[in-house]
Amino acid sequence: MNRKKFLKQSAMLTVGLAAVPSIALSKRNNPLKNNIYFSSAGFSLPEIPYGYSAFPNVIDSKTMEIHHQKHHNGYTKKLNKACAKENIKTQHIEEILSAKSLSSSIQNNGGGYYNHCLYWDILTPGGSMSKEFEQKITSSFGSKESFLNELAQAAKTRFGSGWAWLYQDHDKNLKICSTPNQDNPLMRHVKTNGNPILGIDVWEHAYYLKYQNKRGEYIQNILKIINWEKVESRMV
């Protein structure tokens, strides 16, 4: 499946929740935002354009398949049920998650849906850091090495299940944080609020078959297959 079809299938719901106050969605140069569509049938599970066997030295194909077909698919189905129950019909997923208040069902399943869409997209093979992006990283974190170490540490030390993020705050500064469960920086109750541009899944289902309890090893390897061009494209 080509990238355009992948992004089209990944979804958005659209309709009357509160406008996002922090970083205007209409201004984002964000492939996830600009190309994911939502139909009246609801959110759909995006296919992975590079397949389950693209990274055998980093993520085994069985983990990829279970992660996508069971976990991400589960969040997708439960999100659609929650939206139907709450009469949410046509709003972009980012707008839904940026609302003033979220039910636990939308928070958990909407977060799980969005977070995984982002995760699959930035793992696309290829894409090195541009000089401009590396300069921004250096300006924000001191060096590329310091940035990677800080991001890895945020992922490694997230207690229990959750995510590590590279995001832009309200002033468009690059920051690193981690969140529990399926929370992300779009959500207003998250103190590190802003525009997520990179997410690392540290739920055990993302790595346990291959790495067991060696989360640090998984993190070091996952950082080797990040498509930095896509990460940069999500910046505003």
Q: What pLDDT does residue 2 have?
A: 45
Residue 9, pLDDT > 60, answer: no
Answer yes or no: do 142 and 108 share one domain: no
Model's pTM, two decimal places?
0.86
Total structural domains in the chain? 2
- Per-residue pLDDT tens digits for 151-204: 999 999 999 999 999 999 999 999 999 999 999 999 999 999 999 999 999 999
Q: Which amino acid, one-letter code, is at 204?
A: E
Q: What pLDDT does residue 89 have?
A: 82
What is the residue range of 184's domain?
Answer: 131-233
For residue 61, the surrounding DSSP H or E stretch is helix 61-66
- Per-residue pLDDT tens digits for 33-80: 433 545 456 899 999 989 999 999 999 999 999 999 999 999 999 999
CA distance 28 to 234: 7
CA distance 119 to 197: 10
Q: Which amino acid, one-letter code, is at 160?
A: G
Residue where a domain stops, chosen among 64, 94, 122: 122
Query: Phi first, then psi: what are they for 212, rounded to 5°?
Result: 50, -120
Helix (H, G, I), strand (E, B) or coil at 92: coil
Answer yes or no: do 67 and 112 share one domain: yes
Q: What pLDDT does residue 40 have?
A: 55
Contact 19, 92 (CB under 8 A): no
Answer yes or no: do 109 and 75 share one domain: yes
Q: What pLDDT does residue 126 have?
A: 73
- Residue 171 is encoded by which pair of tokens? 């002033």
